[in-house]
Structure 1
């Protein structure tokens, strides 16, 4: 496939993607773009050689697995009228009980809110502590309830491999170390991701006959997971900020220009804010430090 055709295909796909974003169309379960990642998306989408295709700024969720295939019965298919899911899958009535893209609030972490917290985390499904004998009778059909944290993930369609490689360097430099390039011979897609912050903890099993969750841990243990989640959110935010700064820096390189007028304006705004903060910090330091009578203000 020649370069000119690749450029035409990229241009057509980017136009369609940006048109869908402008109309508010979003195929994610949430139905909208996460606000935490908007600055990076706007930065990338204003560049002529890149466009974001999917994104998530990071989320915490409680997920109920779907019905599973029994090891003692013949294979079931959707054609048989029974919907089943693979391990951890969303089919067979698998669903999110709770999901948010923001750090968990103080209210949900308070010890006095145990009952309310459990109702929130389990999507209104009642829960009770699991008995020891129940934990000894788990099978391949058991439906687990998972507490998950998933860090930021971003997919970027690029016009050329040169642009893709520069964006990949930015991602890895910002600690998104599992990032990579997909379909390098066509319009390359840069997958920005990290697994170091992710975790998945089973916290209970589901009893469909009684519609109840049998918990593996007490509310105090769940609060510990929630506190860990907020720690991961903070680190995730640092990496997102780092990626934004690396992208701004890469886009001002002159030998392979990546900076459009809109990107230059965004970079200048960021630089202006940073410079203003530095000046304010210097002034504050001078106002609080005692004056040196031998200091004439001239640097050595």
Structure 2
């Protein structure tokens, strides 16, 4: 890896501002995530990246398991199809805030449960405890309406999703913000994404504001066990990523272990070394001349005293 360019003043200023925000005590710090703070499991990675010149990161999810009630869908099927087709595409106008797109985000969706750590299951939680933990009501399969058959226009039936979302994996990662508006500095961002360990399953429906489980408690418990296993794999990947970043940002080495230099860097180093030797030589000559003058004066003085 070649040496990185010196960070621009605008980047340095932005990094200083971000680091100042991150230095706020955890009890006072908030961000836009559902949790509202930095995950403890990712703090060491964030701190390591922020110690590197030319890099800065704000906050990241260490991985999470969640239960999510999707937002309100459009009443017009054609309108919803257009929104779904243009979901996450820049050329399509943003969807109205009150209508959810693919995956149910937006449109008044809500989190029933979020954990950034494995969910303890050693004691085998009871069915009631599990429902209570995840914000659900017991299953009521009999008489269950189909999606979209709720007669109330104010509280339509909404799907409930169980999700595990990892931090690490990186196959879907990439660079963004490679261009900027006129007059503004470019601030490239590497977005770390992955679907490699992701898990999602529909586990219920919310009808008339009541979130009801439509799968068995055993099935739900199995989902949590799988999510816990993926938490462990995700933690290992985060550490591999951390070590990879540190290794990639170290000065490149030659086969003999010395630091590799490109031609320009070598010329600059040689020039600096030459100037340093010249200055040392001139200083030595000056010191030698002064010492000689001092010695002559000393000998003359002693001769006069004899």
Please give the TM-score of this superposition, normalised by the length of structure 2: 0.64
Distance 1:198 1:249, change over 3 A: same
Evaluate the alpha carbon distance shift between residue 134 and residue 50 of structure 1 in structure 2; reply closer, same or farther with a 3 A threshold. Answer: same
2:239 is matched with 241
Match of 1:268 in 2: none
**Bigger strand fraction:** 1
- Closer, same or farther in 2 for the Cα pair 1:138/1:221, shift >3 Å? farther
Tell me, which stretches of 5 or more residues in structure 1 are unaligned?
A: 76-81, 154-174, 257-300
* Residue of structure 2 in register with 1:121 after alignment: 134
Aligned residues: 221
Question: Which ranges of structure 2 fall in alignment gaps of 5 or more residues?
Answer: 81-96, 180-185, 253-259, 262-306
> Do 2:70 and 2:104's aligned partners in 1 also have CA atoms closer than 8 Å?
yes
Structure whose alpha-carbon radius of gyration is higher: 2
Alignment partner, residue 36 of structure 1: 41
**Residues 159-198 of structure 1 aligned to structure 2 (within 5 Å):** 175-185=169-179, 186-198=186-198
Q: Deviations over 1:94-136 (max 9, x none)?
A: 21000000011125x715x2101111112xx533232376247
What is the aligned counterpart of 2:157 among 139, 142, 158? 142
Distance 1:72 1:206, change over 3 A: same
Provide closer, same or farther for how the CA distance between residues 65 and 250 of structure 1 changes in structure 2, counting only shifts above 3 A: same
> Does residue 111 of structure 2 align to residue 110 of structure 1?
no
Distance 1:96 1:239 in 2: 26
Q: What secondary structure does 1:213 align onto?
A: strand
Q: CA deviation at 1:241?
A: 1.1
Structure 1 residues 43 and 128, CA, compared in 2 at 3 Å: closer, same or farther?
Answer: same
Query: Could you tell which deviates more after superposition, 134-143 or 46-55?
Result: 134-143
CA distance in 1, matches of 2:143, 2:199: 25
The 1:134–1:6 alpha-carbon spacing in structure 2 relative to 1, beyond 3 Å, is same
In structure 2, C-alpha distance between the alignment counterparts of 1:83 and 1:18, rounded to whole Å = 35
Distance 1:38 1:199, change over 3 A: same
With normalisation by structure 1, the TM-score equals 0.65
Residue 11 of structure 2 corresponds to 10
C-alpha deviation, 1:226, in angstroms = 0.6
Structure 1: distance between partners of 2:100 and 2:53: 41
Q: Call closer, same or farther: CA 1:44–1:240 in 2, change over 3 Å.
A: same
Shift of 1:201: 0.8
Question: In the alignment, which residue of structure 2 is the partner of 1:224?
Answer: 222
Partner of 2:66: 61
CA shift at 1:86, angstroms?
A: 3.4
